[in-house]
Amino acid sequence: MSNSLIENPPLYASPAAEFLDDVLKGLSSASRSIPSKYFYDDIGSTIFDAICELDEYYPARAEIEIMNHYGHEITCRLGPDIRLVEYGSGSSTKTRILLNHLIDPCLYVPVDISIQHLTRTSDALAKDYPMLSVAPVAADFTRPFVVPMSEFEPRRTCIYFPGSTIGNFAQAEAIQLLADIAHRCERGDGLLIGFDLRKDRDVLESAYNDRAGVTAAFNKNLLHRMNSELGANFNTHQFSHHAFFNDAAGRIEMHLVTQREQSVLIADHSFRFDRSETICTEYSHKYSISEFKQMTAQVGWHCKETWTDQRDYFAVMYLER
């Protein structure tokens, strides 16, 4: 049915202006960083899909295992006639498992930052689920955006936030985002969210340092993106991928490390890098179930049920406002 892409009005004159602004800000601070949302251009989204196929990258498979095993139970919790809004829908792989079980969903709203990826995914879904209304929204979900309404009044709205994307936010920002989602919801609305659990350091570090180098390519794509979209002159061969578990902070950190001292020019701004200086490109927090319950309860969510995979590597939690 309705499958027209909704583009929300941008807060910046152009996406490139926002990207440039965030990069200049991130590289000017004492500990250099770039927001990880910029991984997901068309190429980055495709590399991420390849990461999900890697032997070492357990989170994708663990979450799919949970969805396959408890799909019926989970959708019983969500109930019939819902409007399903997905944050960071990517290829909507796990959503298909939900859609196979859901009873008469009124509308599916995939929200993603990569327009090309979103369009491809929504077209494929509309083809495979001809009875389903799909209303894709191209937006950065950390900013306010308009959620399309369904033709029929839904019983409730459920936010689906899979993939442990919540882990990419610093803890205070994650709590703020969970609060924002709560504010956008009405009493009785639901949140189905996936997050990665704390585990053995070796398992964690292998997942972000795969032997085939796909995660390294994913990380370095950010340099290619800055070169092609912002006219930067990063020598991509002189940066290496570095990922490790920061135990005290409970997170994997991904960095780009310069192999030698160098200067980089980005739109008239020159940045000096000392040898071994790093740019932090991603946090991936690993929480315990009780820690996560606490974070969500603080901002108005009530945990109804939690499901985990056999090895307790990953959790999917259902909460209500």
The alpha carbon dihedral of 266, 271, 277, 283 has a sign of negative
| Cβ-closest position to ligand AVJ | 284
Q: How far apart are CA 165 and CA 192, in angstroms?
A: 12
Quick check: 214 and 206 in contact, CB under 8 A? no
Q: With binding defined as CB under 6 A, does residue 194 bind ligand AVJ?
A: no
**Phi, psi angles (nearest 5°) of residue 122:** -70, -40
Q: In the complex with ligand AVJ, which residue's Cβ is closer, 62 or 137?
A: 62
Q: In the complex with ligand AVJ, which residue's Cβ is closer, 132 or 256?
A: 256
Q: Among 215, 278, 296, 308, which residue interacts with ligand AVJ (rule: CB under 6 A)?
A: 215
Q: How many residues bind ligand AVJ (CB under 6 A)?
A: 12
Q: With binding defined as CB under 6 A, does residue 282 bind ligand AVJ?
A: yes
Cα separation values, 201 from 11, 45, 119, 139, 259, Å: 40, 26, 37, 34, 26
Quick check: 56 and 305 in contact, CB under 8 A? no
Q: With binding defined as CB under 6 A, does residue 154 bind ligand AVJ?
A: no
Residues in the chain, how many? 321
Q: Which residue has the tokens 């994307």?
A: 165
Tell me the two tokens of residue 15.
């996406």
Q: Among 51, 138, 192, 232, which residue interacts with ligand AVJ (rule: CB under 6 A)?
A: 51
- The amino acid present at 164, given as its one-letter code, is S
Q: Among 91, 168, 221, 296, which residue interacts with ligand AVJ (rule: CB under 6 A)?
A: 168
Piece in contact with ligand AVJ (CB under 6 A), picked from 68-76, 147-155, 159-167, 227-235: 159-167
Q: With binding defined as CB under 6 A, does residue 163 bind ligand AVJ?
A: yes
Q: Where along the sequence are the contacts to ligand AVJ (CB under 6 A)?
A: 51, 59, 163-165, 167-168, 208, 215, 218, 282, 284
